[in-house]
Amino acid sequence: MIYVTDLTEYLFCPYKLYLKKIKGVPLPQTSEMLTGSIIHKVYEEVLQREKITIEQRICEEMGIDKIFKILYADSKIVIKNVMIKNKVKLKELGVDYLDLIKELQEELKEDELLKAIRIKKYISIYGKDKNLYQNLFMVKDMEYPISSIELGLSGKIDKLEEDSEGNLYPVELKTGLFSNGIRKHEKLQVTAYALLLEKERGVKILLGFLEYYQVKQRIPFLIKEDDKKEVLEILSKVKELFEGQKEPIKEKKSFCKRCGYSDFCWST
Ligand code: SF4
């Protein structure tokens, strides 16, 4: 089975996919890669936990401050757990452990306060009904696993959203800032998830989102037939690469210096 991330990797650099998947060369982890994956994990786990927290621990009579305290305390537990799991690796790569905790706590503090305000506003209009979480945040599933035997493709959708009319939206969570428009591999990744959802549910997926959670920005884009066709074209190229195991041409590109294989590819 081919993963959606294999397609994005191929688009980034076919040689990288070849090294990783066919030659089995371990990808050295940089401090930026590790920090990025920790931030991603923290946000993902916070989103995963908050449905239960909101449904079970928030009451109608609570004020914004109390709601915020409950949500923020939960976020801090997630930060602590994720950081403990990565403590050794962070130290090895020279990342300041306490600075990163502080940075994450600051970001999530603002996030949870905004959520507390939205929750209180909703409760004061509708009461704490059973649809509160779904109506406010639309989150149906986190890390939703999806695959199609017909396509030979599988993946995990960071966040699957559903609106009140039952329309589904794949959302890819991103660290950092949104700049210079939607990148091709990001669009392709979300389109591939849309294609898999269409196969699984027999429905049309109209929109996908990139969500830059650190800056609270969501970028919607249309799921187009041409982009789906491109997903299938890249899928067949990846299949060809995996079956033929032929070494692709190695090309020096501007992003090579940010690639974990940079030393491996260009040290001589
Ligand atoms: S360093 Fe450049 S050529 Fe080598 S795998 Fe990375 S992106 Fe590809």
The CB of 234 under 6 Å from ligand 1? The reply is no
Q: What digits encode the pLDDT tens for the residues 169-221?
A: 999 998 877 787 888 999 999 999 999 999 999 999 999 999 998 888 899 99
Cα-to-centroid distance, 146 and ligand 1 (Å)? 29
- Residue 268: the pLDDT is 65
Cα-to-centroid distance, 13 and ligand 1 (Å)? 6
Q: Which ligand 1 atom lies nearest to the CA of residue 14?
A: 8
Cα-to-centroid distance, 101 and ligand 1 (Å)? 32
Q: Which string of b and e fits 131-153 if b means at least 16 CB within 10 Å? A: ebbbeebbbbbbebebbbeebeb
Class at the top of the CATH hierarchy for domain 2-27+138-243: alpha beta
Rounded CA-CA distance 4/105 in Å is 31
For residue 253, what are the β-bridge partners?
none
Rounded CA-CA distance 76/90 in Å is 18
Mutate to test the pocket of ligand 1, among 250, 251, 257, 263 (most ligand atoms within 8 A of CB): 250
Place of tokens 């916070």: 46
Cα-to-centroid distance, 120 and ligand 1 (Å)? 49
Give DSSP secondary structure letters for 177-226: ---SS--HHHHHHHHHHHHHHHHHH-----EEEEEEGGGTEEEEEE--HH
For residue 40, what are the β-bridge partners?
none
- Residue 229: the pLDDT is 98
Domain spans in the chain, listed from the N-terminal domain onward: 2-27+138-243, 31-136
- Residue 156: the pLDDT is 97
**Among 133, 83, 73, CA closest to 108:** 73
Rounded CA-CA distance 55/139 in Å is 13
Cα-to-centroid distance, 251 and ligand 1 (Å)? 7
As a whole number, the mean pLDDT across the chain is 93
Place of tokens 């060369």: 25
Q: Is the pLDDT of residue 96 over 70?
A: yes
Q: For residue 217, how many other CB atoms are within 10 A of its CB?
A: 12
The CB of 16 under 6 Å from ligand 1? The reply is yes
Q: Is the pLDDT of residue 225 over 90?
A: yes
Q: What digits encode the pLDDT tens for the residues 123-149?
A: 999 999 888 998 899 999 999 999 999
Q: For residue 64, how many other CB atoms are within 10 A of its CB?
A: 14
Tokens representing 212 are 């830059």
The CB of 265 under 6 Å from ligand 1? The reply is yes
The CB of 25 under 6 Å from ligand 1? The reply is no
Ligand 1, atom 2: nearest CA belongs to which residue?
A: 256
Q: Is the pLDDT of residue 258 over 90?
A: no
